[in-house]
Amino acid sequence: MFRLIRVVLVLAIAGAGAWWLVENQTIPEKNKPATPLPMVRVMPAVFESRVMVVEALGTVKPRTQVTISPEVAGKIVGLHPDFVEGGRFSKNDLLVRIDSRSFVLERNAAKVRISQAKADILGLEQERKNLKQEKDLHQASLTLAQKELDRVQALTRREFASKDALDRAEQQHITAAIALQNITSRLALTAPLMEQKQAALAMAQVDFEKTDLAVEKTVIRADFDGFVLARYARIGEYVTPAQQLGILFEQGALDVDVRVPMEQMKWLENEFFRGKTPKARVIFAGIENQETLVWDASVARIQAAIDEKTRTLPMTLEIGQPRKTGQSRVFDLRPGAFVTCRMFGKHIDHVSVVPRHLLKPGDRLFLFTDGRLEIRHVSVLRKVKEVVFIDAGLDPGDRIIVSPLPGAVEGMALGIMQDRG
């Protein structure tokens, strides 16, 4: 019985305690967890002055390219040791020599004909002088014969001279007249004969100059410092006039043709006023494990017509000196190199350059303004590769959101993410 009473008593006490706990329990308040603010990174809007750059690709070509050909026929007897493809030569170097022996012989023959013609002219001039002197003598003889005839005729009329004396006087007068006429005729013929001799001399001089020029043309020299682009000649080969022997191009005289879309020309057109041309740079970055090489350049000319297929305007740039002195000669620009050309055009003041991926559809930017998101429309001046140029809609110091912001809503509260370190 005692043990039963103890069990009942324990159960009663336990039940009473459980009832008291249930009656006096405290119900906790339900609190919603605080939603964290979206954290973003920002960059300040900075305005600056920028030169608009138009970029295009092109291929280098020689400005001065010459195809050498002989002007005389003959066998090649000599070539420059570096007259091979890729060979370098200097101005006035002898590139090709053609056998000149036949032309030298012809020149010597012409020289002999010149000497002979000059001697003939001197002989004819002396003969003319002699004929003039003979003419004077015959003229005097005719005068004497005329006086003798007049005297004999006068004596004959007074019957102091015989008929035979008159006949002899007349015969002497006729002989003197005939001799004078012969000398006059011979002297008159010396004029056309002199013209013939002078013509022969002129022809001999022409032949001499022609053959002398042919001798000079048997040697082909370089007119500039340059390189051999192609060679077609061989020693011992017989060549004819106008036959191609090789192609040369001048060292350092290189151009590059580029094509600029018409919509990009507005950034360059001001540079063409008053005879100016845009400055440019040519960049060659096609060499593995080598630094980028840059040359100064300028727009030399614009083609007259727009390309019908691409609707672009062809331009030619003249390449100048490399921007870095002492640049390796091994990597000099050569024809055929593919290069990037940057032409510097219009100067724009007060423009902000923003990464292109930050620009949202409709030309809008996300801004952090007073702890909240502001979606603002901006004026885009130009889009170039990975950046955009904004000329209106931003103020200096505006904070542009640069980090992704999914579910963006105008006016939503934001926090700025602090950079570590």
The residues spanned by each domain of the chain are 66-98+223-249, 101-217, 254-416
3-class DSSP state of 208? helix
Domain 66-98+223-249: CATH class, spelled out: mainly beta
3-class DSSP state of 346? strand
0.75 surpassed by pTM: no
Would you tell me how many other CB atoms lie within 10 Å of the CB of residue 117? 20
Q: Are 346 and 264 in contact (CB under 8 A)?
A: no
Q: CA angle, corner 347, sides to 343 and 350, nearest 5?
A: 135
Report the alpha-carbon distance of residue 118 to residue 110 in Å, rounded: 12
Sequence-distant (≥ 6) Cβ neighbours of residue 376 within 8 angstroms: 364, 365, 367, 393, 394
pLDDT computed for residue 288 by the predictor = 57
Q: Scan for tokens 């036959």, then name that residue.
A: 243
How many helices (H) and strands (E) would you count in the chain?
3, 22
At 180, list the tokens.
Answer: 């004078």
* Short-list 197, 209, 218, CA closest to 70: 218
Which three-class secondary structure string do you get for 253-265? CEEEEEEEEHHHH
Handedness of CA 144, 147, 153, 158 (dihedral sign): negative
Q: Scan for tokens 């030298």, then name that residue.
A: 104
At 339, list the tokens.
Answer: 């290069």
pLDDT computed for residue 289 by the predictor = 52
- The 10s digit of each residue's pLDDT in 42-98 is 999 999 999 999 999 998 988 888 999 999 999 999 999 999 988 899 999 999 999
At 61, list the tokens.
Answer: 């070509």
Q: Which residues of 275-308 are buried (b: 16+ CB within 10 A; e: fewer)?
A: eebbbbbbbbeeeeeeeebbbebebeeeeeeeee
pLDDT computed for residue 97 by the predictor = 95
Report the alpha-carbon distance of residue 311 to residue 229 in Å, rounded: 33
pLDDT computed for residue 79 by the predictor = 93
DSSP letter at 376 equals E
Q: Are 190 and 128 in contact (CB under 8 A)?
A: yes
3-class DSSP state of 117? helix
At 176, list the tokens.
Answer: 């003197």
Q: Which residues of 4-14 are buried (b: 16+ CB within 10 A; e: fewer)?
A: eeeeeeeeeee
Residues of the chain short of pLDDT 70, as ranges, are: 22, 25-35, 274, 285-291, 324-332, 419-421
State the Rg of the chain over Cα. Answer: 55
* Short-list 100, 125, 72, 109, CA closest to 204: 109
Q: Scan for tokens 């609707």, then name that residue.
A: 311
Q: Which residue type occupies 293?
A: L
User: Residue length, the chain?
Assistant: 421
Report the alpha-carbon distance of residue 417 to residue 415 in Å, rounded: 6
DSSP letter at 338 equals E
Report the alpha-carbon distance of residue 140 to residue 134 in Å, rounded: 10
At 332, list the tokens.
Answer: 């000099």
* Short-list 225, 347, 341, CA closest to 285: 341
pLDDT computed for residue 421 by the predictor = 43
Report the alpha-carbon distance of residue 7 to residue 300 in Å, rounded: 116
Q: Are 316 and 298 in contact (CB under 8 A)?
A: no
Q: Are 83 and 240 in contact (CB under 8 A)?
A: no
